[in-house]
Chains A and B, each alone.
Chain A
Amino acid sequence: MVWMIAKRQIHDTVTSLKFPLFLILFSVSMLLSTVLFQFHYLQSLEDYNVKVAEMRDEFSRQAKSLVQLGANWHKLHRKPPKLAMLSASGEDYVPNTAEWKSADHGSQYRVGRDNFLFRTTTQFHWTFIVGLIVSLAAIIFGYDAISGEKEAGTLRLISANPVPRAQVLWGKFLGLAAVLGTILVVGFLLAVTAAVILGHIALEGGDFLRIFIFFAGSLLYAAVFLALALLVSSVTHSANVSLVFLLLLWVILVVVIPGTGDIVARGLYRTQSQSEVEGKLRKGQEAIHAEFEKKRMAGEVTTEEDWRRWHADLWRAIRASDSKIFAANRTQQFTQTRLGRNLTRISPRGLFSFVAEGLAGTGLGGQLRFDENGRRYANQFGDFIIAKDKLDSESLHLYFQWAGLSEKPVDPDEIPIFEETDPTLSESLKAAFVDLTILFLMAVLAMMGAHLAFLRYDVR
């Protein structure tokens, strides 16, 4: 019986205008997004390769003397994420370059072809398109599923048959989900085909699996809104009223909450201002300077070597104090960001976006990965410098200081090169799992609500 009802629902929806309308809107947007991202990726990759080549050049130039390598500042570049087309949220803002010096991590900033005249990040990725069009489609497909039938009088006829009400509801849900699924499948197939044909992004097996999970997430996302539509449809008695309420809900869930999460977080949790951080830096540096000055005055520094050691220690202490303050600042900013994200999780669109971010390795997760990879590499590089320096007996072994390292040349091929590892499949899944589960629970909850409401529905 469920199947009968679902079939009828599918037939009704597919023959109506809304089906082709949303099919075309979704497919065209997905295609356009895919094609644009192909070129976007090509350019970012080219830029990235140029920067990496520059880094190598710099290394081979500095390899003439170990101290050049060990005491200079270097740059790490973030590799453009392959699956940015899934979710590039905020990618225009997050730092893609980190400065570091041997084992130390310095400031992070963004370089690239950004345009600060645009107020917002440009978002025309798949998550954006699914997040808007599919949720709207789900509402428009589902708003009259119950109340519309009541108005037409067919609901009475159906109830007159020996069919449990639950089956009616599930039949409708499955039928509508099948139609939405069709739209999603068509859009995704077109997009993936376009991506494969253009071929600027080398997609591998794991990427296809990620895209598939993203697709499953999109289905869940559609299911949440579909269940909401059925819920509202089963508490109202006119299709018009149900649509108006659903649109109100849609604006709040899809437009307002995601757009205000960060602002509210900024109000609730304050991060330090520029002058506060600078003040702390200055204070720390002054204290260290005073302490070292005392040592010098005490006459501990006599020989040339002492002098160099003193200098090296001073700078090391200052750098340690600085990086502690930088790290604390960054931690605060991450806390604020997490708070904003948690607030955004009230909305299914927020959850869905975080699922996509996790799968694509972009956004906050990608940023943290870059941070961690960078730190690991910096340590590896530091170890390399120490190992090389130990071979030179003339060196003072004052690590990473201009005055205290070996000046012997190094073989440029031996220098470790930063290679950002792509997240493994299990890592991606782990990143997406929690939000995917909450999304699922949301769908179940909304469907339970719809179930309860429909059981009490007055079909007259």
Chain B
Amino acid sequence: MIRTIAKREFLSNLMSYKFAVGMALCLILLPLGTYVSTRNYHRRLERYELDRDAHQRELTKLHVYSALHPQVDKRPPVLSIIAEGLEERLKSTVRADRHRVPCLEGKGGRMALSRNRYAQAFPSLEIVWLLAIILSLVAVLFAHDTVTGDRELGTLSLTLSNPVPRHQVLLGKYLGGIGSLFVPLLAGFLAVLVVMNLSAAVSLSASDWLAILIIFLLSLIYLSAFFLLGMTVSSLTRRSATSLIILLAVWVALTELLPNASFFVAKNIMPVASMEKTRTEKRAVEEQKNKEISKIWETAQQRAQRGELHILLNKRDNNEKGQLFRFISPETAEFLKDAFGEFETIEVKYADKMAWQDQSYVRQLERQWWLADILSAPSLARPFSSTVRALAGTDVEAFKSFVEKARQYRLEVLAFVEAQVTSNPYRFFTDDPVEEIQKDWPRALREERISRAELGEKMKTADGDPRRLLDLTSMPRFSPPKEGVLERLSRRWRDLTILLLSNVGLFLLAFSLFLRYDPR
């Protein structure tokens, strides 16, 4: 019996205008949106590749370990086409800087020249958000007259006069309705996949396909929740028009008003400290650090005035933080060895201090975001899109695990540098071989054993000598965090529960209301 009812519901839906509109929405808007966001993804990918290559090239030009501050880049995930998430909001390049602990950072700081910050009169659409809006609207359109429509036509009385239990009628209608919604959903998904795969930049791995499958199932669950909401309202009202009007009001309140209102409420009741306050606090710590460092340099200066230290060349090595000394006296080398050892200790100590400040700021942001997330949970559209973003690897957690990995990598780099420097303590600040240092060039120059011209010639050859570059073949490599699709899904267990529970709850509600429904 359920099958008969479902079949009838399915066929009558298939021939309706709303079906045509649902198909049109899915088959026009989704592919168009996908085309645009695939292009955006392509651009992001290009930028990523350029950055990554530039950062690798930088490493091949270093002379001393004090300049070694590798940068790591987060590859934009393919599924960011479907859910852009925070890809354009958060920095995807992180310095695994020995002197600064990586932390979540927003894009578009002071020196962001490429970001157009004047636009954004409206937040730009994401495929997943388009999906959330279209699917819920179509579901509501399909469901609003499941009960009332039959009552108005008089067919409900006829159906119920047969020996068929009411729950079977409702279940049949539900299955038929979902079945007919399945068609535009599948068509829309296929269209999105086709447009995505037309682009040469897109290559989907097995886990991506699994994620897409899960997104499809999630869309079905989300769709079903709104369909059941429609059935509930339909079982509450007598006329289809009334039911539809209530549903549309509820729909706009749930999908648009609630998420935006909850963001704004969270921002007002749990304000975060302003960014520049954190920056000022950090600057205070940094000044302290600079004081400690300049104290050591002052001793160096005093000793140089007394004629104990001699430096013939001091320049920056490819990096504002790397100092390269050449042609130094043995005493100077000994002094610098100790000094740079101390610098490293000081820098690491203060890096940890500043990391604490950074993290407490990010924790504030996270608390505010969490509140907004909780407040907007009843909207169903938010839980749905958050879960899809998590699956796509573009949510906060994905960025956090990337930063966490970068933090570990920084420790690895620190250990590597320490190991290298123990074997050759001078390599921190000079690329002169040990026997060159023993030659004591400054004294030779003073005693006119060598000429300035000769020294200049030596400097030139030293600059171009590839043997003086750092050998970084044994340096640990950064490996991006690898998370399984299910692991990412399980991060949003709360949203999943909300989606599933709302299905169950709404079905029970619709059922209990339909049991008392007066079919006349």
**A residues at B contact (CB < 8 Å):** 17-18, 21-22, 25, 29, 32-33, 36, 39-40, 43, 47, 89-90, 93-95, 107, 109-124, 128-129, 132-133, 136, 140, 144, 239-241, 243-245, 247-248, 251-252, 255-256, 258-267, 271-278, 326, 329, 333-334, 336-337, 340-341, 344, 350, 353-354, 357, 363-364, 367
Determine the chain A residues whose CB is within 8 A of the CB of B113 once the complex forms. 272, 274, 277-278, 326, 329
B372 at the A interface (CB under 8 A): yes
Residues in B whose Cβ lies below 8 Å from that of A243:
244
The residues of B with any CB-CB pair to A shorter than 8 Å are: 17-18, 21, 24-25, 29, 33, 36-37, 39-40, 47, 50, 84-86, 89-90, 104-114, 116-126, 130, 133-134, 137, 141, 240-242, 244-246, 248-249, 252-253, 256-257, 260-261, 263-265, 267-268, 271-276, 365-366, 368-369, 372, 396
Q: B372 — nearest CB in chain A belongs to which residue?
A: A118
Give chain A nearest CB distance to B347 CB in angstroms: 26
User: For B107, what are the chain A residues with a Cβ–Cβ distance below 8 Å?
Assistant: 116
Q: Are B121 and A353 in contact (CB under 8 A)?
A: yes
Cα–Cα, bound, A40→B90 (Å): 24
Given known A117-B369, A123-B260, A144-B241, contact A259–B118 (CB-CB < 8 A):
no
Measured CA separation A255–B267 after assembly (Å):
24
A340 to B123, CA, bound (A): 12
Chain B residues in 8 Å Cβ range of A275: 50
Given the known interface contacts A17-B242, A260-B33, A262-B124, the answer about A251 and B137 at a Cβ–Cβ threshold of 8 Å is: yes
Extra inter-chain contacts (14) besides given A263-B125, A271-B114, A274-B114, CB under 8 Å: A25-B249, A25-B257, A33-B264, A90-B119, A119-B84, A123-B260, A128-B260, A140-B248, A259-B125, A263-B40, A267-B36, A333-B117, A337-B119, A363-B121
Q: Given A111-B274, A244-B21, A271-B114, are A336 and B119 neighbors across the interface (CB < 8 Å)? A: yes
A354 touches B261 (CB 8 A): no
Report yes or no: A140 in contact with B121, Cβ–Cβ below 8 A: no
By a CB distance below 8 angstroms, the chain B residues around A40 are 264, 267-268
Q: How far is the CA of A89 from the CA of B119 in the complex (A)?
A: 10
Q: Which 8 A-B pairs have the closest CB atoms?
A: A116-B106, A120-B123, A259-B125, A90-B120, A122-B263, A274-B114, A258-B122, A124-B264
Q: Known contacts A18-B245, A39-B268, A333-B118; decide if A115 and B260 are in contact (CB<8 Å).
A: no
Given contacts A247-B141, A337-B116, whether A118 and B121 have CB atoms under 8 Å apart is: no
Query: Which of A90, A113, A122 touches B260 (beta carbons < 8 Å)?
Result: A122
Closest chain-B Cβ to A324's Cβ sits at a distance in Å of 14
* A245: nearest chain-B partner, CB-CB: B21
Contact A367 B264 (CB under 8 A): no
Are A354 and B121 also in contact (CB < 8 A) when A115-B369, A122-B260, A274-B113 are? yes
Q: How far is the CB of B226 from chain A (nearest CB, A)?
A: 14
Determine if B114 and A277 form an interchain contact, defined as CB atoms under 8 angstroms apart: yes
Separation in Å of the A283 CB from the closest CB of chain B? 15
Residues from chain A with a CB closer than 8 A to the CB of B261 are: 29, 32-33, 124
Give the complex CA separation of A241 and B141 in angstroms. 11
Docked pose: A245 CA to B273 CA in angstroms:
47
Q: What are the residues of chain B within 8 A of A119 when measuring CB–CB?
A: 84-86, 89, 123, 126
In whole angstroms, how far apart are the Cα atoms of A264 and B264 in the complex?
A: 28
Docked complex Cα distance between A241 and B372 (Å): 38
CB of B121 within 8 A of CB of A25, answer no
Given B33, B114, B267, B365, which contacts A122 in the complex, CB threshold below 8 Å? B267
Within the complex, what minimum Cβ distance (angstroms) separates B374 from chain A?
A: 14
CB distance from B118 to the nearest CB of A (A): 5
CA distance A230 to B242 in the complex (A): 19
A333 to chain B, nearest CB (A): 4
**B126 cross-chain contacts in A, Cβ below 8 A:** 119
Residue in B closest to A24 when the chains form the complex, CB atoms: B249
Cβ of B105: which chain A residues have Cβ within 8 Å of it? 116
A362 to B57 alpha-carbon distance, docked (Å):
44
Q: List 28 interface pairs A-B (beta carbons < 8 Å), by A numbering.
A: A21-B245, A21-B246, A29-B257, A39-B268, A40-B264, A89-B120, A93-B117, A114-B275, A115-B272, A116-B105, A117-B368, A118-B263, A124-B261, A132-B252, A132-B257, A247-B137, A247-B141, A248-B21, A259-B125, A266-B116, A273-B114, A274-B113, A278-B113, A326-B113, A333-B117, A333-B118, A350-B121, A363-B121
- Residues of chain A within 8 A of B248, CB atoms compared: 136, 140, 247
How many angstroms between the C-alpha atoms of A363 and B369 in the bound complex? 24
How far is the CB of B327 from the nearest CB of chain A, in Å? 25
Q: Is the CB of B369 within 8 A of A93?
A: no
Residues of A within 8 Å of B267, CB to CB, are 40, 113, 115, 122
Q: Of residues B125, B126, B134, which shows the largest number of chain A Cβ atoms within 10 Å of its Cβ?
A: B125
Which B residues are in CB contact (< 8 Å) with A109?
Answer: 108-110, 112
Name the contact of A132 in the complex, choosing from B40, B120, B240, B256 (C-beta under 8 A). Answer: B256
CA–CA, A326 and B113, complex, Å = 8
Query: Is there an interface contact between B118 and A123, defined as CB atoms closer than 8 Å?
Result: no
Assess whether B114 is in contact with A22, with CB atoms less than 8 Å apart: no
The docked-state distance in angstroms from the alpha carbon of A119 to that of B124 is 10
Name which residue of chain B comes closest to A109, CB basis: B110
Chain B nearest Cβ from A31, distance in angstroms: 11
